[in-house]
Structure 1
Amino acid sequence: MRKVVVFSFAAAILFSGCSTLSQSDVFDSMNLMTSSKGSGELTWIKSAKEEEAVRSEVERLLKEPLSEENAVRITLINNRALQQTYEQIGISQSDLVQAGLMSNPLLGYSIGRGGGIRQSGVTLELAFLDLLWIPLRRELGGLALEETKLSVGDAVLQTLRDAKKRYIDARVAEESVRLNDDVLKSHEVSLQLATRQYTAGNLSKRDVLKIQDEYAHARLESIRLNRESAIAREALNKLLGIYGEQTYYTLSKEPITLGNQPRENGALERIALEHRLDFASAQKRVEYAAKEAGYSEKTALLDEVSVELGSEKSTGESRINTIGVKIPIPIFDMGQGRLSRTQSLYNQSVQNLVSLAVNIRSEVREAYATARYNYEMASEYQDSIAINRDILEQTQLYYNGMLDGIYELLFDQRRYRDTKIESLKAIGEYQKAQADLIYTLGGENNATQR
């Protein structure tokens, strides 16, 4: 029995020394995985030095007009909700380390006196069967860590998608304000001219009131568009994780263009199921639940077997050394509750996987349809802009020839502006639909190489 005990201690030391992936190793693996899907290099802020490096990088990127690429970059390194998600890797990796450790041996000491006799005893208790369960626990911990890595990777891709969409909203809103400001200035000049003409008796009061009404509409539209721009910009600021003077950045003035039409492909659903990280994470959850159910079945009756060493000495007597085994008697608790629970968890994970597969397939079809029809709407607006530009040019000619009044000219200017703003919003909606489609297909490469 002493040899058994010695072996137990040796094996405990051996298992405790088994190497596991560090938190940095797991994060780097996740970083490589998401980078291949379009995220770029990620940073996990875990020290003051890393915090300072991120702050410097953010300030450098904000000094120049903010592009979509740099907005995504700032979000992925500075968004604190995402940084919080990274800590799940640390938690799962710590659980894996813990799974590879044996329970600490229990050391007991007792002393007693009576009838002139003094008795003392020392005991050492070791959970012997931990040696058998450690490999199983480590396997479960490894599956849980892999599931966490995939889940965190999916959170990265979701954040990337959201950063693109919030940036598009901010750009479209700001450009809409600029378009409206051009028309507002024209209305203001026209109102000043109309007021002078009315004072000189060359314009009726009715016409002046119409022009005033157009100017009021333009001002109200300016207030509404500025409000939308402020809201869109703050939504972007939240994702960027910035505040204070950092929010005084300027957005890029690059033209907002429609881009390419989404390509139809009958294999989109298959591509999504092969590359979506949330689906891969759900698959790992099923594998974990199956292993957990098997682990519970194996340990149902003998999960707390322990070896006990004892040494007792009474006054005037020789020391007595003992060795024993403690085995639970399965009379009341035969593990039926744990077995039933793990089986239900397994069934639940399987149903969740099936449900997720159905939802992903639907998301793919919806995302493609949304992108396709948004593209068609944006294309139609391009034609509508051309028509309204021609109408405005004709009205300008009529106005110059005194065949139309200034009110008709202002009305057509407003309609032309409204069409351009609606076209701009339609392009933005298409670009956001493209961001959704890219995420739905599991990343940038899967969306472009299909």
Structure 2
Amino acid sequence: MAYADTRSVINISIEGGGDLTLHQVLQQVLQNNPELSAFSKEVAAYEGTKLQAGLLKNPEFIIGAESFDSSNPNIERSTSFRISQLIELGEKRPARVNVATLGQELADQAYAAKRLEIVARTANTFIDVLESQEQVRVADDTVRLTQAAMGAAAKRVETGKAPPMEAIRSKVAFSTAGIELEQAKRGLAAARAKLALLWGETKPQFGQALGNLESFVEIPDFDQLVKRLEENPVMLQSSKHVAQREAMVELERARRIPDVTIGVGLRRYLGIDVTAAVLDMSIPIPIFDRNQGNELEAHRRLNKAIDERMAVGLQLRTEFARNYESLLAARNEIRVLHDEVLPGAQDAFVITNRGYQLGKFSFLEMLDAQRAFFQNRIFYVRALANYQRLINAIEQLVAAPLDDFINDVKGKERNQ
């Protein structure tokens, strides 16, 4: 549901007071959410990291003077001008570039994971608004019908067909329904404010949220979906982290090889007015420091990254299994409420309401049937909203809309 809406986002503005679709909300959030903006800047920063990693070391220009202030005529005074260059051996520079490149790819996956998280969070908040709107409608219907019941009770009391207590009870029921309506409106206001904050507005400027909680999808098989957990950006991020740690091991291994510094220059002997060429080379002798400590650290951090990837995979599978079973249960709950509970509660309410007006049922029986009907309507709305949230959770885990899996299966069946 939510994931599908992110693949064809176009420029849509939210006009003040206009109704709002999930597509428009996602457009605004993906453009203006500060969390996502921060992750994109981290990806861009790695361009500088890659650039720096590929640069050669700067040469050094050295000026020296020997015996410059000596008064002994037997000692030649000299001045030297030399340029030295560090030459890296062992493919260190390509290894650094590889580490930086994998770092940027890791940041790309972190951005993708954050984007998917924000999309799911936005969709769930949008569902909260849809659910709150439906609850307000149900509460408003309750107020309207309790008001009608209060009028009917007043007439029965006036005609002596019912005791005065029924009029009092009807007023209490009406007041209670009014309180529930106000609570539902406050819940809607809070959900709208939370939704607007996702794209940076402190006060909602839109009308109604447009959406259908009764939109259902065909649920693919468990085994078909669980294979796609490897495509989750969080899992890809963990795999990329392992690859980066492997590259860092290679870099530390390359640093075991000492680098060579070569210098060339001129030396001017001032006493005899002679200029001579100078060539020197220096190389560290790896007796004590062979970079073994850094290499050991890199290996240990690689092992840690491998364990973290396994932990992430296990966590994703556990979360997927829990949400998948909850989704199947939610679908069954909706079916029972829609096919059995709501029709029965509505019939009971209609029968007792008519029977009360004819004096066949008491006010309490009529009120009980009425509240049972509207309470089950609330249960149905909550079940629908929970179903949509679970769909969002599954789509976030497999990083694809569920409709794609069904279309793939149907396409393969047609080709066979």
With normalisation by structure 2, the TM-score equals 0.85
Question: Gapped runs of 5+ residues in structure 1?
Answer: 1-34, 44-53
State the match for 1:168 in structure 2: 127
Give the direction of change, closer, same or farther, for the CA distance of 1:242–1:125 in structure 2 (3 Å limit): farther
Paired positions, count = 399
State the match for 2:414 in structure 1: none
Matched, 1:242 2:209: no
Using the alignment, how far apart are the partners of 1:105 and 1:197 within structure 2? 104
CA contact (8 A) 2:229 2:316 kept: yes
Query: Which region of structure 1 is more displaced relative to structure 2, 383-392 or 316-325?
Result: 316-325
Query: Which of 328, 334, 345 is the matching residue for 1:372?
Result: 328
Query: Which of 115, 127, 132 is the matching residue for 2:86?
Result: 127
CA contact (8 A) 2:14 2:206 kept: no
| AA matched with 2:249 | A
| AA matched with 2:135 | S
Question: Gapped runs of 5+ residues in structure 2?
Answer: 410-416
Using the alignment, how far apart are the partners of 1:94 and 1:174 within structure 2? 49
Structure with larger Rg: 2
State the match for 1:349 in structure 2: 305
CA contact (8 A) 1:438 1:447 kept: no
Matched, 1:325 2:281: yes
State the match for 1:102 in structure 2: 56
Matched, 1:412 2:369: yes
CA contact (8 A) 1:100 1:134 kept: yes
Tell me the secondary structure at the aligned position of residue 307 of structure 2: helix
1:321 deviates by 3.5
Note the alpha carbon deviations across 1:8-63, whole angstroms, 9 max, x for none.
xxxxxxxxxxxxxxxxxxxxxxxxxxx997622579xxxxxxxxxx7xx4335x66
1:236 deviates by 1.8
Using the alignment, how far apart are the partners of 2:98 and 2:210 within structure 1? 53
State the match for 1:67 in structure 2: 21
1:103 deviates by 2.1
Query: Which of 300, 315, 319 is the matching residue for 1:363?
Result: 319
Higher relative contact order (CA 8 A, sep 6+): 2
1:268 deviates by 2.4
State the match for 2:38 in structure 1: 84
Using the alignment, how far apart are the partners of 2:189 and 2:219 within structure 1? 31
Give the direction of change, closer, same or farther, for the CA distance of 1:179–1:37 in structure 2 (3 Å limit): closer
Give the direction of change, closer, same or farther, for the CA distance of 1:334–1:130 in structure 2 (3 Å limit): closer
Tell me the secondary structure at the aligned position of residue 59 of structure 1: coil
Note the alpha carbon deviations across 1:399-420, whole angstroms, 9 max, x for none.
2212234454343222211111
Using the alignment, how far apart are the partners of 1:95 and 1:328 within structure 2? 28
Please list, as runs of the form range in 1=range in 2, the aligned pairs for 1:4-403 lying within 5 A after superposition: 39-40=6-7, 57-60=12-15, 64-110=18-64, 113-115=68-70, 120-129=79-88, 132-191=91-150, 194=153, 204-244=163-203, 247-273=204-230, 275-302=231-258, 304-313=259-268, 315-316=270-271, 317-382=273-338, 383-403=340-360
Using the alignment, how far apart are the partners of 2:245 and 2:129 within structure 1? 44
Query: Which region of structure 1 is more displaced relative to structure 2, 189-198 or 434-443?
Result: 189-198
CA contact (8 A) 1:120 1:314 kept: yes
Using the alignment, how far apart are the partners of 1:447 and 1:166 within structure 2? 25
- Percent of pairs with identical residues: 16
| AA matched with 2:193 | E
Give the direction of change, closer, same or farther, for the CA distance of 1:206–1:336 in structure 2 (3 Å limit): same
Using the alignment, how far apart are the partners of 1:338 and 1:211 within structure 2? 80
| AA matched with 1:152 | Y
State the match for 1:12 in structure 2: none
Using the alignment, how far apart are the partners of 1:238 and 1:130 within structure 2? 54
Query: Which region of structure 1 is more displaced relative to structure 2, 62-71 or 344-353?
Result: 62-71
1:253 deviates by 4.5
Give the direction of change, closer, same or farther, for the CA distance of 1:296–1:199 in structure 2 (3 Å limit): same
Note the alpha carbon deviations across 1:303-349, whole angstroms, 9 max, x for none.
x4322334443534433442222322323322111111110111111
Note the alpha carbon deviations across 1:141-197, whole angstroms, 9 max, x for none.
222222222222222222222221111111101220121022123334544665677
Give the direction of change, closer, same or farther, for the CA distance of 1:145–1:393 in structure 2 (3 Å limit): same
State the match for 1:7 in structure 2: none
CA contact (8 A) 1:300 1:335 kept: yes
Give the direction of change, closer, same or farther, for the CA distance of 1:311–1:58 in structure 2 (3 Å limit): farther
Give the direction of change, closer, same or farther, for the CA distance of 1:63–1:215 in structure 2 (3 Å limit): closer
Give the direction of change, closer, same or farther, for the CA distance of 1:333–1:190 in structure 2 (3 Å limit): same
With normalisation by structure 1, the TM-score equals 0.79
CA contact (8 A) 1:39 1:157 kept: no
Tell me the secondary structure at the aligned position of residue 214 of structure 2: coil
CA RMSD, aligned part only?
3.0
